[in-house]
Amino acid sequence: MVSALIMAGGRGSRMGRPTEKPMLPFLGKPLIDWVASAVLAAQRISEFYIITSANTPKTEEHCLSMGWKVLHTDARGYHDDLKQAVSKLGWAGPVLTMPSDVPAITGEILDRVVVEFEGCGKDFLAVFVPIEKRQSLGLSISSTDEYRGVWYAVSGVNIINGAKILGEGKTETAAIITEENEVVLNINTTKDLEVAEQIMDKSRKQ
């Protein structure tokens, strides 16, 4: 079992919309609701918090109204907010982190990531997507990372030992490389939102 954090405190400026990114409507409900529903459906997640900031007051209000636990951070950036959240919560064990903009994610996928982490023997497990896969769907490439000499698109879904987040030194990394839509559909731009809605709507009707 692991604890989880849904990161929902960023500005989401690339969307170019006045609505806070986690609250953007996606097939009838806010992006954040899709991700929270996946976490709630996961069997291997013991508890979760949604990380908000001064950038996302409406998201915070919405999450509290849904009965979800919220932790407010200082909006100094994704990694600083993550470190602050783990420090405040005192989580030294495995922490699953994900953004609020992966609406296709499911509890089943998250459970598989946890199982993979538990078996890898590393302090950090990242979920990567082939850049070509996102390009083939017309999705943006906003964040990339290198693993074993190959560059991949970052999904934002990771597990790391909390003690490593707070500590210093090199962290040994393992990775899952996948082309599954549940992970591929990460929303960074308005076009990403439109493409992801079309893909998910089509898959739901099949």
Q: What angle do CA 82, 84, 90 make, to 5 degrees?
A: 100
Q: Output the pLDDT for position 168.
A: 63
41-82 pLDDT, tens per residue? 999 999 999 999 999 999 999 999 999 999 999 988 888 999
Question: Residue 1 to residues 50, 116, 187, 193: CA-CA distances in angstroms?
Answer: 18, 12, 27, 32
Instruction: Give the mean model confidence (pLDDT) for residues 106-135.
Output: 96
Find the DSSP H helices in 15-103. Answer: 31-41, 57-65, 78-89
**Domain positions in the chain:** 2-205
What is the pTM (predicted TM-score) of this model?
0.93
Mean pLDDT, rounded, for 9-22? 75
**pLDDT category of residue 14 using cuts at 50, 70 and 90:** low
Selected from 3.40.720.10, 3.30.56.10, 3.30.420.10, 3.90.550.10, the CATH number assigned to the domain covering 2-205 reads 3.90.550.10
Q: 182: which residues sit within 8 A by CB, 6+ positions away?
A: 102, 104, 105, 106, 109
> For the chain, what percent of residues have pLDDT higher than 90?
80
Residue type at position 178: T
CA distance 122 to 134: 27
Radius of gyration of the chain (CA): 16
